[in-house]
């Protein structure tokens, strides 16, 4: 099971959009995907149509609940979800000073049957706090969505530094599996320059796929469907299907 954290501390970078729609596109390819929502805003949870998830993953962090007990099936083929709840807002305070708080999630994931899913995709909150550090300590890969705007590049450097610190202190297996340019408006020279800058600076770490600005992508959360179901012929669906293929192809070099 590949374990991938989708993270960027900057809001609006496309984390949840990527977590949900990449999972759906992988599901279309008969890959079994478990999505974990670690964001107190619960956007991925509600996107999958789960309205009342009780305490969700909060109970795993604070009450030593079993992560397998809160897995929910979805209406998206081959995709299940571990829901978030607004209770997660209190995790930082509740775990303050607790020894080993950074590795709670890694220990809990040992309860998951490793052959049941092909992917664990974690939607991280837009902050480099205890929840994101837990995700980075528990996975082997980081996928970084970056908005095609020059200001977004400043936060990327901080995130990459955090990944290196976590790799050194908590998780030597951690690697950046890819940087994804999101919300790319092909009509503007600025967006193209940002993508070119990413490619020049990070080379093969940048996915060939870019996620184009697409109104259908913005609409589909309101309907509780990923873009592959809401508008399967849209640019957004095409882009996330292309990303799914790139993610799958990464495995060929590892065999």
3-class state of residue 217 by DSSP: helix
Read off the pLDDT of each residue in 154-178 and give the average, rounded to a whole number.
Answer: 92
**Mean pLDDT, range 76-105, rounded to an integer:** 92
H helices of 56-171, where? 58-62, 91-95, 104-108, 130-138, 150-169
β partners of residue 35: 81, 121
d(CA 251, CA 31): 13
54: which residues sit within 8 A by CB, 6+ positions away? 85
How many CA within 13 A on the CB side of residue 170? Answer: 23
Mean pLDDT, the chain, rounded, equals: 92
Contact status, residue 74 vs residue 49, Cβ threshold 8 Å: yes
> Would you identify the CATH topology of the domain 2-248?
Rossmann fold (3.40.50)
- What are the start-end ranges of the H helices in the chain? 15-28, 43-47, 58-62, 91-95, 104-108, 130-138, 150-169, 189-202, 215-219, 227-230, 235-249
Question: Domains of the chain: which residue ranges?
Answer: 2-248
> Around 147, how many Cα atoms within 13 Å sit in the side-chain half-sphere?
16
Helix locations, 71-149, DSSP H: 91-95, 104-108, 130-138
- The pTM of this model reads 0.95
Task: Identify the band that residue 227 occupies on the pLDDT scale cut at 50, 70 and 90.
Answer: very high
Region 61-81: what's the mean pLDDT? Answer: 94
Residue 157, pLDDT above cutoff 90: no
């Amino acid at each position: 099971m590949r374990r991938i954290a989708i993270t960027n501390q900057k809001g609006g970078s496309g984390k949840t959009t990527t977590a949900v729609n990449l999972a759906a596109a992988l599901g279309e390819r008969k890959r079994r995907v478990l999505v974990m929502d670690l964001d107190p805003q619960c956007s991925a949870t509600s996107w999958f149509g789960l309205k009342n998830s009780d305490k969700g993953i909060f109970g795993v962090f604070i009450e030593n609940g079993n992560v397998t007990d809160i897995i929910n099936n979805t209406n998206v083929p081959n995709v299940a979800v571990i829901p978030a709840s607004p209770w997660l807002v209190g995790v930082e305070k509740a775990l303050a000073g607790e020894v080993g708080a950074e590795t709670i999630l890694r220990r809990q994931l040992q309860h998951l049957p490793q052959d049941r899913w092909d992917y664990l995709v974690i939607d991280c909150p837009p902050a480099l706090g205890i929840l994101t550090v837990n995700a980075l300590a528990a996975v082997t890969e980081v996928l970084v969505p970056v908005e095609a705007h020059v200001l977004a590049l400043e936060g990327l450097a901080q995130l990459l530094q955090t990944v290196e610190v976590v790799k050194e202190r908590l998780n030597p297996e951690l690697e950046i599996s890819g940087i994804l340019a999101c919300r790319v408006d092909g009509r503007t020279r600025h967006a193209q320059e940002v993508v070119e800058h990413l490619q020049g600076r990070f080379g093969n770490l940048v996915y060939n796929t870019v996620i184009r600005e697409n109104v259908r992508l913005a609409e589909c959360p309101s309907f509780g469907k990923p873009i592959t179901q809401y508008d399967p012929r849209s640019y957004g669906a095409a882009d996330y299907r292309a990303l799914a293929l790139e993610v799958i192809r990464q495995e060929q070099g590892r065999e």
